[in-house]
Structure 1
Amino acid sequence: MPGYDAIVIGVGGMGSAAVYHLAKRGLKVLGLEQFEIPHELGSSHGHSRMIRYTLQEHPSYVPLVRRAYELWHALEQSARETLVVTTGSVRAGPPDSDFYLGAIEACDMHQIPYEILGNTEVNKRFPGYQFPDGISSVYQADGGFLLPELCIVSHAQVAEEAGAEIHSGETVLGWEVQGDDVQVRTNRDTYSAARLVITAGAWAAKLVPHVAPYAVPERQVLGWFKPDRPELFTPENFPVFGIWTEEGRYYGFPNYSVPGFKIGRAHHLKQKVDPDDMDREIHADDEEILRGFTSRYFPLAAGDLLDTKTCIYTNTPDEQFMIGVLPDQPQVSVAAGFSGHGFKFASVIGEIMADLAQNGETSHNIDLFRLDRFDS
């Protein structure tokens, strides 16, 4: 008999949610995390992660984020913590850009209310913004951000209260299917389970050869700048945003929990990396990419650089997720390749992974994320 009903490798954003949902269903579950819980070496840190309905990535994400909101609020009740901060969200760009039009399409398809604001209107309503002519915005009132470290801790704590066993600082060395079960070897012990769930983020490629060619880690940099007018950059006065510009695609957040206006550029310097050997230092060109944009579009926030962090995107060729049961190994399911826009869905991804582990299928529509879609 296996020692566990399920083992989850990786207890970050997705894995902590998977452990939580499996434990809440009464399964005997073990979560294995190579670092501390939480940590700053992967993709689930940085004090804030955006959540929004303006999902220009694909309209299929809207039902998932709707369910994610429900599950985050349920976790807030169970953990007695605030995990979701509502600010409203802005998706902006040239009016003929796919980025802007895709946000409208997603909302229209799923009857999500929104407003269209020209640059003058958005700058007047939110004076921390200084968008130039030629930029249109989709404003949606329900957007905001999650507190990622607290989300992970809350999922893990409530999972342990439901009977889950979670080990931090334990590195998985390998796994193999043995008959109907799966054996997992770590630097401490060997474990067996009826099902294996792999939610290892940037390390998924090292554990799952099937996804390795398609889930590619990339270095990302975040910065926090000191506003000249901090009252304009509070959650009450400053919606989270994403914008497509000639400088690239940027995203940002108000002051919250730590000082500073938070800013990042999607795909930063497009540096493919090994997560175990990534440059985590911040260099002058990293700061300039963030400061130059901030000075043009949010000049009242372009003060001293207060803090920086590196994180990791794990990108797929189409920037959609990879979720499913491994072919020829039905005991094993994987979620990977979240391409810089996954954390908001972590609560529902955990539910999906629990479904796959327990039943081999899920009622959620995950056709967009098929593991075999890149196979020739």
Structure 2
Amino acid sequence: MHKPYDFLIIGGGIFGVTAAISLAKRSYRIGLLNPQTIPHHLAASTDVSKAVRMEYGSDLEYFRMAEKSIEGWHDWNDLFGEELYREVGFLMLSPGPFEDPRHSFERASCEQLREAGYATERLDPAALRDRFPAVNSELYSDAHFNPRGGYARSGRVVEVLADYARSLGVEVCEGQTASGFLIEKGRLQAVQTREGQAYPCAQAIVAAGACTPYLLPELQPYLKATGHPVFWLQVKDPKLFSPPQLSVFSADISNSGWYGFPYLPEQGIVKVARHANGLELHPERDDRQISDAEVGELRLFLQKTFPALAEAPLVYTRRCLYTDTLDGHFWIDRHPEIEG
């Protein structure tokens, strides 16, 4: 029998490792379970880049959280002596003026930033062409650039944070897949794993990503896993797509869903992805392959937005899984029926 933990965290993605670090700093005894080595190759956190931006339309709460997180990213860069977060800026593109109701997300985002005192730039087609020559300025008549934003090297971030958690005394148990809970008289006693282990704990924190509604089936009416396409493209002219010639970008995102990243030097690629309804799937059983239709939609987007990428070789695809709630917001709460 394992020694009881004050907190046992299920899942070693970004939410799991940061929870472990935060609690370890408060002198709790922490365990962390993860099905494979960290970072897990299928985890949403395990990627080469994730956008870091304050542009959340009219949502002031998310704006403030993102604003605070950017301060934290700079702190981590200093703490670990490594550029885990790259502040290359965030560019919003719109095929019509922000004042058009169809582009209210972009307009509200600009207003939030301006009211908070950020020095940002509104770009007309001529300025867009000069600043970001890879973008088709004939299509996008309005644009906005915010230098306070960029991307995190997400897979590397999780790897570094897992090592940091270990240094703080967190016991990381890799190769252990949570499968159920041992409950007595309505109180959690231990977390059970597929591998036949039982980990006693006073409290358990479920940070299992897309597996959460399957670990806790009672959440299935409220949580679902959806997969969204991600594409890596090989480029002929890296300089054209490297900062400052290109930043993290969104292209009419509330209507089209398209966004992406500048040239990523470690991988030698440009990454483009689509935020939309996605494909509802089971995180372990279902196929995560990208369809020919989705590749065709990518090609059409590139032809219109980045002509120099229209025929760029596609070197890798993946399906990034979201864990969606009914309203799209975070779900952080205690279980209403199980103490602990």
Question: What TM-score does the superposition give when structure 1 sets the normalisation length?
Answer: 0.81
Aligned with residue 165 of structure 1, among 171, 175, 192: 171
Q: Distance in 1 between matches of 2:244 and 2:78?
A: 23
Letter in 1 for 2:176: E
Report the equivalent of 1:369: none
Deviations 1:191-230 (A, max 9, x none): 1212111111101111234532222111222112233432
Whether 2:327 is the aligned partner of 1:318: answer yes
Report the equivalent of 2:313: 304
Task: Tell me the CA shift for residue 76 of structure 1.
Answer: 2.8
Larger Rg: 2
Letter in 2 for 1:121: A
Question: Is this contact kept in 1: 2:181–2:188, CA < 8 A?
Answer: no
Report the equivalent of 1:4: 5
Question: Is this contact kept in 2: 1:221–1:310, CA < 8 A?
Answer: yes
Q: Distance in 2 between matches of 1:263 and 1:58?
A: 25
Aligned with residue 214 of structure 2, among 184, 206, 218: 206
Question: Is this contact kept in 2: 1:217–1:312, CA < 8 A?
Answer: yes
Name the SS for the 1:92 alignment partner. Answer: strand
Question: Is this contact kept in 2: 1:12–1:38, CA < 8 A?
Answer: yes
Task: Tell me the CA shift for residue 318 of structure 1.
Answer: 2.5
Question: Is this contact kept in 2: 1:224–1:259, CA < 8 A?
Answer: no
Aligned length: 330
Q: Distance in 2 between matches of 1:79 and 1:296?
A: 40
Q: Distance in 1 between matches of 2:122 and 2:189?
A: 52
Whether 2:186 is the aligned partner of 1:185: answer no
Structure 1 pair 135/275, CA: closer, same or farther in 2 (3 Å)?
farther
Letter in 2 for 1:205: P
Report the equivalent of 1:337: none
Q: Distance in 1 between matches of 2:45 and 2:190?
A: 27
Deviations 1:123-176 (A, max 9, x none): 221111114345422211011100011110111111100100011221111014
Report the equivalent of 2:157: 151
Report the equivalent of 1:62: 63
Structure 1 residues 39-118: aligned runs within 5 Å: 39-56=40-57, 58-93=59-94, 94=96, 95=98, 96=100, 97-118=103-124
Letter in 1 for 2:190: Q
Q: Distance in 2 between matches of 1:57 and 1:211?
A: 29
Aligned with residue 229 of structure 1, among 237, 262, 266: 237
List gaps (5 residues or longer) in structure 1: 332-376
Q: Distance in 2 between matches of 1:24 and 1:213?
A: 35
Report the identity percentage: 26
Task: Tell me the CA shift for residue 109 of structure 1.
Answer: 4.8
Quote the RMSD (CA, aligned, Å).
Answer: 2.3
List gaps (5 residues or longer) in structure 2: none
Name the SS for the 1:285 alignment partner. Answer: helix
Task: Tell me the CA shift for residue 20 of structure 1.
Answer: 1.4
Report the equivalent of 2:249: 241
Question: Is this contact kept in 2: 1:78–1:158, CA < 8 A?
Answer: no
Deviations 1:38-57 (A, max 9, x none): 12313112200000112227
Structure 1 pair 111/327, CA: closer, same or farther in 2 (3 Å)?
farther
Question: Is this contact kept in 2: 1:2–1:194, CA < 8 A?
Answer: no
Aligned with residue 284 of structure 1, among 292, 305, 309: 292
Question: Is this contact kept in 2: 1:55–1:62, CA < 8 A?
Answer: yes
Question: What TM-score does the superposition give when structure 2 sets the normalisation length?
Answer: 0.89
Letter in 1 for 2:33: L
Letter in 1 for 2:290: I
